[in-house]
């Protein structure tokens, strides 16, 4: 069995379509504690209880905030959310709470940021944490969800797309 190098793995995963989300958390009181990051490593786990998982690099402030608070929100970006996805991915060098100067944000009852025009938002409480390589895998029990309007943003072949009916 051959070892796959990082570049080959990334090129292969670029062909694997994924929904584009912004995972948000709040580590403590105050607006400076908001954290968020663009993520496609999000998927359902079980329907009973309703839960999903997110994979976050342990070196990010968002990972630390989720670990500290035990909560996170997954905001599925709308079809026109490409610029916001890039912003939360760190384009332009914006970091930490400064990312929230772009987009329309409010807080859930726990103070965790919600994107107001998200196609869908899941609010989650961490039920389990696993470690894998450079990432933490947070399994979250969904405590509430909010439906938005319109199609979701998809990332595939190193670019953003919207689904089209066949």
- C-alpha gyration radius of the chain: 15
CA angle 155, 7, 64 (to 5 degrees): 65
How is the chain split into domains, by residue range? Answer: 28-157
Confidence category of residue 1, pLDDT binned at 50, 70, 90: low
SS3 74: strand
Average pLDDT over residues 88-96: 93
Confidence category of residue 30, pLDDT binned at 50, 70, 90: low
C-beta atoms surrounding 54 within 10 Å: 27
Enter the tokens of residue 7: 């570049």
Supply the pTM of this predicted model.
0.93
Confidence category of residue 109, pLDDT binned at 50, 70, 90: very high
Architecture in CATH for domain 28-157? Roll (2.30)
Burial class (CB in 10 A: 0-12, 13-18, 19+), 99: buried
């Amino acid at each position: 069995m051959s070892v796959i190098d990082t570049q080959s793995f990334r090129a292969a995963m670029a062909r694997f379509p994924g929904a584009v989300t912004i995972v948000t958390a709040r580590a403590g009181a105050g607006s400076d504690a908001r954290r968020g990051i663009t993520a496609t490593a999000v998927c359902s786990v079980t329907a009973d209880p309703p839960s999903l998982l997110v994979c976050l690099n342990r070196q990010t402030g968002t990972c630390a905030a989720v670990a500290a608070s035990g909560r996170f929100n997954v905001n599925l970006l709308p079809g026109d959310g490409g610029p916001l996805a890039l912003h939360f991915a760190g384009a332009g060098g914006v970091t930490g709470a400064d990312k929230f100067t772009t987009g329309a944000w409010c807080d859930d009852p726990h103070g965790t940021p919600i994107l107001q025009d998200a196609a869908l938002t899941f609010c989650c409480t961490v039920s389990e944490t696993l470690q894998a390589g450079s990432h933490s895998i947070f399994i979250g029990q969904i405590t509430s969800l909010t439906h938005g309007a319109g199609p979701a943003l998809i990332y595939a072949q190193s670019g953003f797309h919207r689904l089209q009916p066949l």
